[in-house]
């Protein structure tokens, strides 16, 4: 599936797009996703444990375009660089921006810049240089009609802006339908969910 407004493919962090809503909002166990093997996971259990943490890898996969590695192949590389870590009790932590940027630059030859302080009005300027932006937002951005529950904790890939700069185009790895997977929001609406940090990719 490709965004009609850009050449960046649209992917979800769960293998079966039609089940994203049931998984993230309906309590469906990801291990029941019949498409789990397409992710590159070694088992339904590994897929279920990790897929909810892989919004950043999904954004990378979209940014790399056609022919990008599978989601879990990207995860494996990120683990080697320390962009994800696992505690002794199995808790998964990440995405850690600095090692992620190193991973993307060294393995895929894409210049990656960490933005620890990024105002929403700085995103269009990055887009205008031909970059895409992994922006930290609250996952509630898929329901912009509701009050924002918070900021950050989830990554979306900002791919473009409207001609007048008043709205942003972005791909959401946990979008529950076509309109929230390849979405457009006014900058002011996007800002309500935005944690003012991210990574831009050349």
Distances (CA, A) of 11 to 92, 174, 176: 22, 9, 11
Q: Given pLDDT bands bounded at 50, 70 and 90, which one contains residue 4?
A: very low
The H or E element containing residue 92 is: strand 92-94
> What are the DSSP E strand ranges found in 128-188?
132-137, 154-161, 167-171, 182-186
Question: Taking the domains of the chain in order of start, what are their residue ranges?
Answer: 17-201
pLDDT tens per residue across span 130-179: 999 999 999 999 999 999 999 999 999 999 999 999 999 999 999 999 99
Record the pTM: 0.95
CATH number assigned to the domain with residue range 17-201, chosen from the 4 options 3.90.70.10, 3.40.640.10, 3.90.950.20, 1.20.1530.20: 3.90.70.10
């Amino acid at each position: 599936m490709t965004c009609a407004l850009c050449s960046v493919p649209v992917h979800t962090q769960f293998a079966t797009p039609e089940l994203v809503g049931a998984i993230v909002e309906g309590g469906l166990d990801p291990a029941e996703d019949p498409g789990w093997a397409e992710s590159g996971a070694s088992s339904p259990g590994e897929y279920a444990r990790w897929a909810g943490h892989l919004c950043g890898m999904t954004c990378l996969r979209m940014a790399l375009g056609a022919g990008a590695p599978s989601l879990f192949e990207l995860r494996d590389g990120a683990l080697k660089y320390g962009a994800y870590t696992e505690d002794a009790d199995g808790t998964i932590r990440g995405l850690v921006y600095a090692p992620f940027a190193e991973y993307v630059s060294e393995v895929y030859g894409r210049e990656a810049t960490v933005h620890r302080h990024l105002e929403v009005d700085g995103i269009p300027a990055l887009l205008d240089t031909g970059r895409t932006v992994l922006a930290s937002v609250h996952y509630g951005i898929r329901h912009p009609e509701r009050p924002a529950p918070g900021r950050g904790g989830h990554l979306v890939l900002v791919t473009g802006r409207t001609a007048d700069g008043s709205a942003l185009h972005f791909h959401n790895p946990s979008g529950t339908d076509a309109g929230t997977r390849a979405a457009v929001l006014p900058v002011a609406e996007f800002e309500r969910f935005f944690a003012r940090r991210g990574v831009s990719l050349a």
